Structure 1
């Protein structure tokens, strides 16, 4: 066979595009290399319009027997990464890899939730450290409980609580009662982001600053949240 004919033959055979996400994560789905290769062959056949290749056809591409292919397919069915569907119109059976793709999606969602939980735990840990740094001492058990209530019960994010702490530092009123009042006002006004909190702080500090400057250029005024 001439080189040109070989190239034409290769082109006619087509190619199979394997998602990298499958190659990178099949181990996490408890699939071994033999099962993975069998899935790839089923996938390859489906791209050629052969939706239900026989065990003999599959084994001809692999180094296992048709009987071993049958056993491997059975394991894939048990692991719920492949299904055998019955065509409603044609009546023919076919392999479906939809369960495999669904498992990959579920894996990503689970990992994303895990990352979110880990991030939240890190942010809370940083929050406690920041409070202790600003207060210059370890927090009491009541103060720790108050921090937890701000997050769990009141629904404030660690970043917003940090912004409230910053307001207390700027106002030179570093105590939990003052910070709690700031968070209460922000929640009442629908403030949920750091950007909104900063704008709110600027809005209240600006008129106070103008009034104080007219009285004395030495003082640096701040908005008193406790007077709200």
Structure 2
């Protein structure tokens, strides 16, 4: 065998498939045989044959023509491939396999995974939020307090990170109660505060404004690191 033969063999090329198909086919209830059959259909299509016969596909697989035909029918029934009409350049009509249903199912699977990951992340954030509150309050939260926390997230749509920031603000101000925290969240929402960076910036600007309005008397020694205080309930 000559090198040219190997070169010709390598020129057969590769097929392009989403990696997600290999990682998700089991969750999509595809068997290994059905997966390989789909890969063969993809390869035939990339080589210009969009409607290979079961015999052509079977010749590349370790299954009989009968089994290959049954697998093709099963894939059509399960909605992974379609047989659609097409037109050639000279106007002759023909049939071809469409893999659009497969890609749509793969996209649905991706979106479902993304949704599940967001739900799990939200659950972790909520659990951490309750833990932070119980740690700061030094006791388990009452049913009413738990309901208030849920209301902030579900009804008022406050991000758990923002609620934690409001909790820290209440701790700094020495006003550790839910009414005070609720007022902070109300003020932040009214002023369009949606991120932790915006909350920090808003707090800094307010304290700078407060410091300019209330300068310390000259005969009073100012602490080197004063604790900022914002009485949100008086706003």
Q: Normalized against structure 1, the TM-score is what? A: 0.93
Question: Aligned pairs, how many?
Answer: 227
| Contact 1:208-1:222 within 8 A present in 2 as well | no
Shift of 1:220: 3.4
Shift of 1:15: 2.7
Shift of 1:207: 3.2
Shift of 1:81: 1.0
Instruction: Quote the Cα distance in structure 2 between the aligned partners of 1:182 and 1:47.
Output: 60
Instruction: Quote the Cα distance in structure 2 between the aligned partners of 1:127 and 1:139.
Output: 11
Partner of 2:205: 203
Deviations 1:28-60 (A, max 9, x none): 111111111111111110010000011111111
Shift of 1:18: 3.6
| Contact 2:172-2:227 within 8 A present in 1 as well | no
Shift of 1:96: 1.0
Partner of 1:143: 145
Alignment pair present for 1:28 and 2:62: no
| Contact 2:81-2:100 within 8 A present in 1 as well | yes
Shift of 1:11: 3.6
Shift of 1:63: 1.7
Q: Normalized against structure 2, the TM-score is what? A: 0.91
Which SS does the other structure have where 2:38 is aligned? helix
Identify unmatched segments of 5+ residues in structure 1: none
| Contact 1:81-1:99 within 8 A present in 2 as well | yes
Name the one with the larger helix percent. Answer: 1
Shift of 1:216: 5.0
Instruction: Quote the Cα distance in structure 2 between the aligned partners of 1:120 and 1:15.
Output: 41
Partner of 2:232: 225
Task: State which drifts further: 145-154 or 13-22.
Answer: 13-22
Partner of 1:40: 39
Identify unmatched segments of 5+ residues in structure 2: none
